[in-house]
Amino acid sequence: MLRYLITLLISLVLFTCSTIPTPKVQVIKFDTLELLMTRDSEKVEVINFWATWCKPCIKELPYFQELHNLRSYHVNVTLVSLDYVDVLHEKVIPFVEMRQLTPQVMLLDEIDYNSWIDKVEPSWSGAIPATLIINHKTGERRFLERELKTGELTQIIDEITT
């Protein structure tokens, strides 16, 4: 009887675990972002800095979703949220779930902005939306501190890969 119970318990635990989705948003420090920017990869790195409170950022998220859907064979899209880590469960995760965002979403928990903004890009004033595009193979980078226009993202990726 006890054996049955244990088996039941174990299978219940396993079942529950398998239905828990992988974390939707990974909380990171700057070193993780730095790894993304400097890693050795065949794929073009597209890193978008956004936040749930930033209207122009939200407006352009579909471009990144579409890029991820159509070109993930040669482009790696990461959405880096600059929301405060305090609102991770209350705002960021529900937002990502509601929008059904499938690119990797990370929340950069680094409040001392002046210590890392220049390491991303010296010309960045700190305003968002901002997007960094890197071709790791050639070392070519593009940084856009503004809203993107329709088609602009794929155009830049084509420019940087040819």
Partner 1 sequence: MVYISTILVILSVLFSAGLKVGDQAVDFELKNIDGQMMSLASNEQAKGYILVFTCNTCPYSVAYEDRIIQLHEEYAPKGYPVVAVQPNNVQRSPGDSFDKMKQRAKEKGFSFPYLIDETQEVTRAYGATNTPHVYVLNREAGDRFVIEYIGAIDNNSRNAADADQHYVQDALDGLIEGKGVQTTKTKAIGCTIKWAS
Q: 56: Cβ–Cβ under 8 A, 6 or more apart, which residues?
A: 129, 147
Nearer to partner 1, 75 or 128 (CB): 128
Q: Are 79 and 52 in contact (CB under 8 A)?
A: no
CA–CA separation, 123 vs 121, rounded Å? 6
- Name the segment binding partner 1 (CB under 8 A); options: 3-11, 39-47, 122-130, 136-144: 122-130
Nearer to partner 1, 67 or 82 (CB): 82
Nearer to partner 1, 100 or 114 (CB): 114
Report the b/e string of 68-106 with b at 16+ CB within 10 A. beebeeebbbbbbbbbeeebbeebbbebbeeeebebbbb
C-beta of 155: minimal distance to partner 1 in Å? 21
Q: Which of residues 78-97 bind partner 1 (CB under 8 A)?
A: 82, 84, 86
Q: Which of residues 12-71 bind partner 1 (CB under 8 A)?
A: 53-54, 56
Q: 151: Cβ–Cβ under 8 A, 6 or more apart, which residues?
A: none
C-beta of 38: minimal distance to partner 1 in Å? 21
Q: List contacts with partner 1 (CB under 8 A).
A: 53-54, 56, 82, 84, 86, 111-115, 117-118, 124-129, 145-146
